[in-house]
Amino acid sequence: MEIMRTIELGKTYRDGEKETEVLRGINLEIDEGEFVAIAGPSGSGKSTLLGLLAGLDKPTVGQVFIGETEITTLPENRLAKIRGRMLGFVFQSFNLIPTLTALENVELPLILNGIADAKKARELLDLVGLTNRSRHYPNQLSGGEQQRVAIARALVCDPPIILADEPTGNLDSKNSKTVMDLLISLCEEKQKTIVLVTHDLDFASKAQRTVHIEDGRIS
Ligand SMILES: Nc1ncnc2c1ncn2[C@@H]1O[C@H](COP(=O)(O)OP(=O)(O)OP(=O)(O)O)[C@@H](O)[C@H]1O
Ligand SMILES: [Mg+2]
C-alpha cells in the first residue's frame, strides 16, 4: 500500500527577476513500510523535495499525497494536523531544545498535543538506548546521543512516516552507523516508512531503494 506519492511535482524559486528551477516532473511513490533513500549532489534539491513531502513548503506545480490526502492545497491548520499524525522529522543539526533534558525534549510533542506522558517518553528513550541519559541536557550528550534523542522525539507521537534529512551529516562514522542501524530497525521491526536524504551512497545502499536526483529530476 502506498503511503506517499507525488505527481509531476516541480519547484521553482523566484528571487526578483531570477528564477531557479530546482525540481521538475518528480513522480515518486513510496509504499507503507518502505525504506527509501534520496541521494544526489549538494544543491540537487534533496532537502527541497523533503520539505515538499512534509508540506513545509508549497510546490510550484504538481501534487503531494500523504495517504489518501492531497496536502498541496490544504490550509495550514489541516496540514498541521496531518503532519502531527503522520510525520516525524529528523534533521542534520538535531534541533533539540537546549534548556530541556533528554526526557523533556522527547516528551515535548506530547505536551504540545495536550497529553503529557513521561512514561511514553521514557519508553522511546529506552528504544534508542538512552535509558540512563534521560536527565542529561543536550550539551551533556554526544552528537550521536543527541541524534538518538531527536529520533525518539520524532517517534513519540507514533507517526507511520519518518523523514530524515542528512541525519548522520554531523556524526562520526561510528555514531552514523548507530543512527543508520536504528533507522533500519524502525523500518524492519516497527514497520515505519523511512525517507532518508543522504549524499552518502554507502548509507543509501542500505535502503530498500535509492532515488537519485540530478538536475532537478529523478534519474
Ligand atoms: N528558499 C530558497 N530560495 C531560493 N533558492 C533556494 C531556497 N532553498 C533552496 N534553494 C536552492 O535550491 C537548490 C536546491 O537546494 P536544496 O537545499 O534542496 O539542495 P540539497 O540537495 O538538499 O543540497 P545539500 O546536499 O547541500 O543539502 C540550491 O541551488 C539552493 O540554493
Ligand atoms: Mg539538503
| Test site for ligand 1: of 15, 21, 22, 57, most ligand atoms within 8 A of the Cβ | 22
Cell numbers standing for residue 17: 527577476
Residue 207's domain comprises 2-218
**CATH code, domain with 189:** 3.40.50.300
Share of the chain above pLDDT 70, in %: 100
Q: What is the biggest distance separating any 2 CA atoms in the chain, rounded to whole angstroms?
A: 54
Cell numbers standing for residue 122: 521514557
Contact 167, 91 (CB under 8 A): yes
CA distance 157 to 154: 7
Neighbours of ion ligand 2 (CB under 5 A): 47
> Residue 31 forms beta bridges with which residues?
2
Contact 120, 110 (CB under 8 A): yes
List the alpha helices (DSSP H) in the chain. Answer: 46-53, 76-86, 102-112, 118-127, 143-155, 173-190, 201-204
Per-residue pLDDT of 39-55, as tens digits, reads 999 999 999 999 999 99
- Say whether pLDDT at 107 is over 90: yes
How many independent structural domains does the chain possess? 1
Per-residue pLDDT of 128-176, as tens digits, reads 999 999 999 999 999 999 999 999 999 999 999 999 999 999 989 999 9
Task: List the residue whose alpha carbon is closest to atom 13 of ligand 1.
Answer: 43
| Test site for ligand 1: of 48, 92, 163, 199, most ligand atoms within 8 A of the Cβ | 48
